[in-house]
Amino acid sequence: MKKVTVMAGLVFTLFSFKSSETATWTIDPVHSKVGFGITHLGINEVIGYFTKYEAKVTASKEDFSDAQFELSGDVASVSTGFDGLDGHLKAPDMMDAAATPKFTFKSTAVKSKGGKNLEVKGDLTLHGITKPVTLDATFNGAVVHPMTKKNVAGFKLTGKINRKDFKVGTDLPDMVASDIVTINATAEFAKN
């Protein structure tokens, strides 16, 4: 009888701990932006966005410190608000939307930096070239959406890349358009 009681106690203890379940969250493109900024003539930042993309996050921890981020977007969806500039960004000497129609990012490691701050390391593929990048992320929190009743989580991600590492505009002088491009994304994800 003592063995049965001990076994029952072990089984109860094992099941009383909440298992950490991995959840998948999908981006809400209506309430998100994936964009970039680049300095023009050394005096002004020009802002652009991509209007067609998909992204998801998988995580088992509430603070997303074990998250995996994945993003895929259409290069041809680049928008600065000016057709001529958009056309130039899609050209072969820039991002070459015809030959390399997609850009992707897949995280390789996420580390908590304390509070709501995360460091997201991953591989960015742009213009057919893959390079490691590091992004700073702020987890803005999670709430239940009052209309959809789904759990939603918000993030802000920023980072810097050198466009010439990806052979984007290699003949374009730094003074005309800075070599350093700032990545800016605000993202709202809904739990599946």
Report field, pTM of the whole predicted structure over 0.75: yes
pLDDT at 9: 43
Locus of tokens 């213009």: 127
87 assigned to some structural domain: yes
Helix boundaries (H) for the chain: 2-16, 83-90
Asked if 54 contacts 27 with a C-beta cutoff of 8 angstroms, the reply is yes
State the amino acid at position 191 in one-letter form.
Answer: K
pLDDT in tens, 19-78: 469 999 999 999 999 999 999 999 999 999 999 999 999 999 999 999 999 999 999 999
Does residue 6 register a pLDDT over 90? no
What amino acid occupies position 92?
P
In a domain, 77, yes or no: yes
For 65-85, what is each residue's pLDDT tens digit? 999 999 999 999 999 999 999
Mean predicted confidence (pLDDT) in 172-188: 96
Which CATH number belongs to the domain containing residue 42 in this structure? 2.40.128.110
* Domain total of the chain: 1
- pLDDT at position 11 over 90: no
57 within some domain = yes
User: Is the residue at 1 inside a domain?
Assistant: no
In a domain, 88, yes or no: yes
pLDDT of residue 74: 98
Asked if residue 96 is part of any domain, the answer here is yes
Q: How many CB atoms lie within 10 A of CB 59?
A: 22
Residue 9: inside a domain, yes or no?
A: no
Coil, helix or strand at residue 86: helix
Token reading at 32: 């998100």
Residue 33 has a pLDDT of 98
pLDDT at residue 14 is higher than 50: no
Q: Determine the average pLDDT of the residues in 113-117.
A: 95
| Residue where the block lists tokens 């701990």 | 17
Average pLDDT, the chain: 91
Any domain includes 6: no
Contact 159, 6 (CB under 8 A): no
Range(s) of the domain holding residue 26: 20-191
Residue 12: its pLDDT value, please?
38
* Closest by CA position to 178, among listed 190, 161, 166: 161
